Amino acid sequence: MLVGRTLLFVPGDRPDRIGKAIGSAADAVAVDLEDAVAPSDRAAARASVLDAVRACEPRPNLFLRVNPIDGADFADDLATATQLRTHLAGVLLPKAESADQIHRLDDLLGGGPAVLPIVETARGVLAAPEIAAASPRVATLLFGTLDLAADLGVTPTVEGRELLHARSQVVLATAAAGLPGPLDGPHAALDDTDGLVRASALARELGFSGKIVLHPRQLEPVRAAFAPTTEELARAREIVEAGRGARGAFRLADGTFVDAPVLRRAAALLEAQP
């Protein structure tokens, strides 16, 4: 998968942190020119990003989060992305609300980088199926927990009941488009490791494939939470082995009935392992 289980965000106005993030153990890194940077600092941040990224050893999964496509900063952000084209795996588009926005970004990029739309408004959730299927360059969707909670007037919790329907909509949209599972939004309480692990486990149960992280110390808890357990892998191997040469449905030694969808899921679980 292009992104992996952990996508580490780093502020674009902190060149000292950009180098550390790029050299970190994160599966992917997103340099942020949007919410992490004050509007008055964005011009300086773009210059810092150019210098910091070019000074680092290239990494395959580096992304740039630009500002919304209809915003005042978008054109300059896109120019920065274009200058870094050979360094970037893709562009994160916040406030994605329509397939038309993805088509416009596709045309402006002119080929090359992948697109990761961030679904973080009510309009975006309702349009998620069209956004996910808008372009072959859409790698998956990102779920914007904090912005969506603000849009809906709810308080995000670890359990996530207040956003359950929206999360499920985004998972369904990516699956319907044939994409890898979406990435869940961040757990903002950096010192709450227990909450981070619980939130990650719940997101995985819904079909998310990974999570945005805001600090390197969140990487290992998230990666572990999204990894299959030893028991799950053992069961998958049992299913795949028992299914070799089987015609149609079959039974395991414990009497469990297995048909084609269960076999496909077990095989996919094993194939996804490093």
Residue 253 pLDDT exceeds 90: no
Positive/negative CA dihedral, 150, 152, 157, 159: negative
Are the C-beta atoms of 92 and 33 separated by less than 8 Å? no
Torsions phi, psi for 130 (to 5 deg): -70, -35
For position 1, what pLDDT does the model report?
58
- pLDDT for 138 equals 97
Task: Work out the percent of the chain whose per-residue pLDDT is above 90.
Answer: 80
pTM of structure: 0.91
Q: Which of 204, 259, 263 is nearest to 235 (CA)?
A: 263
pLDDT in tens, 197-229: 999 999 999 999 999 999 999 999 999 999 988
From CA 263, how far away is CA 250, in angstroms rounded?
A: 10
pLDDT for position 80: 97
Per-residue model confidence as pLDDT tens digits over 88-147: 999 999 999 999 999 999 999 987 899 999 999 999 999 999 999 999 999 999 999 999
Pull the structure tokens for residue 69: 């496509």
Sorted by where each begins, the domain ranges of the chain are 6-226, 230-271
DSSP assigned state of 212: E
The architecture that CATH gives domain 6-226 is: Alpha-Beta Barrel (3.20)
| pLDDT grade for 31, boundaries at 50, 70 and 90 | very high
Task: Give the confidence band of 250 by pLDDT, cuts at 50, 70, 90.
Answer: confident
- Asked whether the beta carbons of 147 and 120 are under 8 A apart, the reply is yes
Q: What is the mean pLDDT of the chain?
A: 94
What is the reported pLDDT for 274? 66
